[in-house]
Amino acid sequence: MKKRKNKNAWYWMFLAVCLVSLVIVVFIPLAIGIWYSFTDWTGINNPTFIGMKNYARLKDDKLFWHSLLFSAKFSAVSVIAVNTVGLTLAMLVTRNIKGKNALRTIFFMPNLIGGLILGFIWQFIFVDIFDSISRFTGIKAFSGWLADPNTGFWGMVILAVWQMGAYVMVIYIAFIESIPEELLEAAEIDGVTPFQRFRHIIFPLIAPAFTINLFITLSNGFKLFDQNLALTNGGPGNMTQMVALNIYQTAFGESMMAYAQIKAVIFLVIVATFSLTQVYINKKREVEL
C-alpha cells in the first residue's frame, strides 16, 4: 500500500510540472492576448479597454480575409500534395531495394533546413534559375514565377512538399513496418496484386498515420510563416500573403498590437476548429476501416 502511495505521489508530481508549465506557457499568455484584443494597445501606450471595436473593424479588413482564404486554399492543396509524396516515398523505401537507408536520409535532409533558408533557396531557384531556363529555352512559363500570384502559390506548395514530404514519410514508414510480414506474405501467396495489397491491407492498417499526418500538415499549412516571408513576402501586391504573415505585418509593420491580437484570436479559433474536426473524422474513419 505504501509503495502504491509513493508511486501515485511521483505520478502527480511529474504531472504537476507539466500542468504548471502548460498554464504558464499557453493558458496565461492566451488569456492576456484575448484581453489585449479588447484594447487599443500599440505596443507603447498603456492599453485602454475599447470593447468590441477591433472585432467590428475586422469584418471590413479585406486583406485579412483574403490572406485567410489564401491560407485555406494553400492548406487544402499542400495537405494532399505533402501526404501523397510522403506516402509514395514511404512505400518506396520500405521495399527491398539497395540503398534504402541512404534514400531515407537523403529524402529527410530538406526537413533539417530552417524555413527561412529554404525560402531563400527556392527564391533563388524560382527567380534566377527559372529565368535563366526561360531565356535559354524561350519557354515563357519559367519566367517571373514569383511575380505572378498563381505561380507564386504553386511555388509555396512546392516548397512545402519539399520540406514536409519526408517528415510525414517517417511516420508512414513507422506504421508500414509495423504490419506483420506474415500477413503480407499470405496475401502474396493468395495472388493479390500490389494495388489490392495496398488498398485492402496496408491502407487500413496505417489509418492512424493518416490521422497524425493530416493533423500535422493541416495545422502547419495554416500556420506557415517563415517560408512565406522568405519566398514571396506576401507579394506581388499582398496576393500571396498568408494569415500568419498578415498578423505579423499588422503587429510589427503597422504597430497595431491589439488589432493584430484579435486577428490571432480569430485565427486560433479557425485552426483549432479545422484541426479538431479533421481528427474527429479521421478517428471515426479508422474504426470503419
Angle 213-157-204 from CA coordinates, rounded to 5°: 25
pLDDT over 90 percentage in the chain? 54
What is the rounded average pLDDT of the residues 219-229? 91
**Mind listing the domains of the chain with CATH numbers?**
61-288 (1.10.3720.10)
pLDDT given at position 63: 94
**20-39 pLDDT, tens digit each:** 999 999 999 999 999 999 99
Mean pLDDT of the chain, nearest integer: 89
Residue 287 has pLDDT above 90, yes or no: no
pTM given for the model:
0.87
What is the rounded average pLDDT of the residues 65-87? 95
pLDDT over 70 percentage in the chain? 97
